[in-house]
Amino acid sequence: MIAIRRASERGLTNWSWLKSFHTFSFGEYHDPLHMGFRSLRVLNDDWIAPGMGFGMHPHRDLEIITIVLEGELEHKDSLGTGSIIRPGEVQRMSAGSGILHSEHNASLADPVHLLQVWLLPEKRGLEPSYEQKSFPESELSGRLCLVAARDGRLGALTIHQDASIYLARLGPEQSVTHSLHSGRAAWIQVGSGRISLNGQALGEGDGAAIEQQPELNITAVNSAELVLLDLGPGH
C-alpha cells in the first residue's frame, strides 16, 4: 500500500513571518483522518521570514528532528545549547521530561526552509538532550544517508524510538532502493524536486505512507531532496 498525501491537501498556517504546511494535525489545524503515522506525529514544512522565528516555548515527551533545506536556522534551548543549523546538518532534540527552545531565521536577508519531524518516544520522562551533526555532500548525494536511528549506528544521531531516518539528494534520473522488512512501514517526504516511488509520481511537498511493500524504488525526475523514515510497529 502506498497512500499519497499531496502537498495541496496539507493544512496551512500562513502568518506574516511564517508559512507552515502540516502533513498531520497540528495547532489550529485538526484533521481526524491525519493524526500521524505510527510513531510519526508531526511533519511540518516551514518557511520562516528573515530575522523571524519561534520564541522560547516548551515541549515534552517528543523526539524533534529538524532538517534545514535552505538558509540558516538559529537554535537556543534551556540546556544552554546555542547553534546554527545549515543545509546538510540535522538537529535532534529529545524533549523528554521538559525543555524550552527557540528557533529563528539566522539571516536578515533570506528565508529559511526546513522540515520539522516529531516522533513519539518509546518512553516518557526521558532526560532532555540535544544533538546536531553535519553530513557532507558526499554522503548525501546519490544515496540514502542514515541521519538518525535508535542505536545511533553508522554515525547517525540517536533517537529514542524504533525508527531510522534517511536523507538523500538525487540528481536527474538517479535511483536508490530501500528494503522494508516485515512489519515495518515507511514515510517518504519530498523536500524539493520530483521523484517516482515504485512507479508513482511525487512532487515537492508530497508525502507517502508505505506499508506491505518489501522494496522501495525511488528515482529522481529532476534534482530532488527527500527524507525517508523507516518506522517500527509501535504507536
Q: What is the CATH number of the domain that holds 106?
A: 2.60.120.10
β-pairing, 145-149 vs 157-158, is parallel
- DSSP letters for 142-181: TS-EEEEETT-GGGPEE-SSSEEEEEEEE-TT-EEEEE--
Cα–Cα nearest to 135, from 169, 69, 170, 88: 88
Q: What are 216-228's pLDDT values in tens digits?
A: 999 999 999 999 9
Tell me how far apart the alpha carbons of residues 59 and 26 are, in angstroms, rounded to a whole number: 14
Tell me how far apart the alpha carbons of residues 117 and 159 are, in angstroms, rounded to a whole number: 12
Inter-CA distances, 77 with 33, 93, 103, 117, 188, Å: 33, 10, 9, 18, 29
Tell me how far apart the alpha carbons of residues 194 and 225 are, in angstroms, rounded to a whole number: 9
How many independent structural domains does the chain possess? 1
State pTM to two decimals: 0.96
State residue 235's pLDDT score: 67
Q: Could you list the residue range(s) of the whole structural domain that residue 26 is in?
A: 2-231
Q: What are 68-88's pLDDT values in tens digits?
A: 999 999 999 999 999 999 999
Region 190-196: mean pLDDT is 98
* CA angle 216–218–223, rounded 5-degree value: 160
Q: What are phi and psi of 100, to 5 degrees?
A: -110, 140
- Provide the H-helix boundaries in the chain: 137-140
Region 180-208: mean pLDDT is 97
Q: What are 28-64's pLDDT values in tens digits?
A: 999 999 999 999 999 999 999 999 999 999 999 999 9
Inter-CA distances, 223 with 11, 106, 148, 228, Å: 26, 26, 23, 16
- % pLDDT > 70, the chain: 100
Tell me how far apart the alpha carbons of residues 155 and 151 are, in angstroms, rounded to a whole number: 10
